[in-house]
A and B are shown apart, each in its own frame.
Chain A
């Protein structure tokens, strides 16, 4: 975090990106420090692929900086970042084929009942990959990003009720996957 700019709001920093390079760099560093983890987490969990997530993440911030230089008006900086990341994720999804099948997951998951917490984390990540992309995205935005349904609706352009339904279905599916292989969830 760049302490000299830490007191500024997101919008002030975003507007500073239009300034000469020195000020822009400091503002960008501050914004990056605030949101890099959140954006990368979104990319990683939505794509389920670290390599794709890295590419999308980098492109997200590069596009973000360039668009800020082009005098774009933004009112919600993290939302704008997520919008860029989401669009890039959609582009990646369009260009690739889903490769993880339920059977693959079955083979890779342990049926041992003595799960450690770390293994549960790995299991829920893999369960996420089994979700339909729309359900996965809704679940990630809700449970990982902590966004409200209204915010999610603005970001995705999907109605609140549809998003609630997606999240509900995602949770039920994850529960089902987890309960299928873990009989001792309650012991966590």
Chain B
């Protein structure tokens, strides 16, 4: 056996069991330069081959072609591996470009959603406030707010509503009827729906606004006022309660009640101008803690659509702009429904709609009586285009993956109070845990912001909270 054969066997690991031959080779390496050269050449070739092997990187276009032809999403890890190996690969697509199509989709969806929401669903008659005088009639506003709450209670068949219309001359000029006792609520039940549809009252109010100068009251409020006045007129006509009887200035509206949205918003959208504290505006800085419990039910895995349902719980924190009398209300429960298109196991887009409420308790001057406790739970509709992304590459723990969801959309009171509308953005950052491949538990933090215009003022609100839920895949 030649030394060259011994060298081959040595590099094949076949001399380990043959110590004599190994000794022979080592002796030759010590004494024979040609053997050393041969051995060194073998070593160099092996080294070069291994170096060559590590320098080879799969072209990114190959990866893209393979995954595209299989209908899979291209894994980012492959690109990263190629970059680590230092091989020439196609430039990585910037993140902004990777998500550009989805961002554009979300934006277009949002714009369409807003357009539909603001125009297609806006069937209400809107008034414009044309008053040119100063609005120093705050009691009148408060009494109007009281009227609105009466109407709201009437719609929701809430038995305990105690509302007072102001004796203020301005108010009297618009609404000559008062509600003075709880029994008035019963009366309002019978006329609430009717009152909501009484549009002629708006004309009257508008005219009186021009005369009396209700400056700063938005058309939304004016519309609410008109319906409230109409209701009050009917109530007075049928019941004719004396003004002095049982003025109990507590408006007790249960959380998340079933009042009509216009009525609720009428109570919510008290004008901020004037003698605050009045009802905290949605656009005020009150923070809400949101808890979301949801179940997502994909219709079919092969069909990239999913239907998701979730419950949203929220509670209202004190508004720093108001007095310390404003307290936190109990959490409210709301529902949200979404239709999602799954672009891939990681990415999904869709649309989500909900009616979200917030609770508030505060003191206000009601019928000229200061520091009266008022409790409300107004709500609004919102609709958002959503984009959801589960980061499959980051496994936080076993079967635990981070995800985020972005929603962009619009809020609106809907129906006849269509002036109350604006934009909304929601962001959820959390994680999803795969109990099984069909059951996913998710949770995280949620931030949402709304922006809307009322009383010619642009209001914004930023809320934080948490979300958790369960997703079931069929």
A positions within 8 Å CB-CB of B: 1-4, 6-7, 20-23, 25-26, 28-29, 32-33, 36-37, 40-41, 44-45, 50, 54, 57-58, 61-62, 65, 117, 120-121, 124-125, 143-144, 149, 164, 167-168, 171-172, 174-175, 178-179, 185-186, 188
Contact = CB atoms under 8 A, between A and B. Distances in A.
Contacts of A32: 63, 66, 75, 78
B42 A36 contact: no
Contacts of B301: 20-22
Interface string B375-398: 000000000000000001111001
A36 B61 CA distance: 13
B314 to A, nearest CB: 33
A29 B49 contact: no
Contacts of B77: 1-2, 29, 33
A143 B56 CA distance: 14
Interface of B: 4-5, 8, 12, 37-38, 40-42, 44-46, 48-53, 55-59, 61-63, 65-67, 69-73, 75, 77-78, 81, 85, 301-302, 345, 392-395, 398-399, 401, 434, 437
B437 A40 contact: no
28 contacts: A1-B77, A1-B81, A1-B393, A2-B393, A4-B395, A4-B399, A6-B395, A22-B301, A29-B75, A32-B63, A32-B78, A36-B78, A54-B62, A58-B65, A58-B66, A62-B70, A120-B48, A121-B52, A164-B8, A164-B12, A167-B8, A168-B5, A175-B38, A175-B42, A178-B41, A186-B40, A186-B41, A188-B44
Contacts, number: 127
A88 to B, nearest CB: 14
SS class, residues of chain B in contact with chain A: helix
Closest 5 CB pairs of A and B: A3-B395, A143-B49, A41-B56, A40-B58, A29-B75
Given A2-B77, A29-B72, A144-B49, A37 B40 contact: no
B41 A3 contact: no
Given A33-B81, A36-B58, A120-B48, 10 more contacts: A26-B392, A28-B72, A29-B77, A37-B81, A58-B66, A117-B51, A124-B48, A124-B49, A168-B5, A175-B38
Contacts of B4: 172
A124 B52 contact: yes
Contacts of A7: 398
A21 B52 contact: no
Contact of A121 (B37, B38, B51, B70): B51
A145 B234 CA distance: 91
A182 B416 CA distance: 90
A27 to B, nearest CB: 11
A56 B333 CA distance: 58
A120 B52 CA distance: 10
Nearest to B75: A29
B72 A25 contact: yes
Contacts of B49: 124, 143-144
A171 B42 contact: yes
A171 B60 CA distance: 32
A62 B57 contact: no
A37 B392 contact: no
Nearest to A65: B70
Interface centre among A36, A40, A54, A62 (most CB of B within 10 A): A36
A4 to B, nearest CB: 5
A62 B52 CA distance: 26
Contact of A124 (B45, B72, B401): B45
Given A20-B302, A25-B72, A185-B40, A174 B394 contact: no
Contacts of B62: 36, 40, 54, 57-58
B63 A36 contact: yes
A82 B59 CA distance: 18
Contacts of A58: 62, 65-66, 69
A152 B166 CA distance: 97
B71 A21 contact: yes
Given A125-B52, A144-B52, A175-B45, A28 B70 contact: yes
Contact of A37 (B58, B66, B75, B401): B58
A62 B75 contact: no
Given A22-B301, A175-B41, A186-B40, A3 B73 contact: no
Nearest to B46: A143
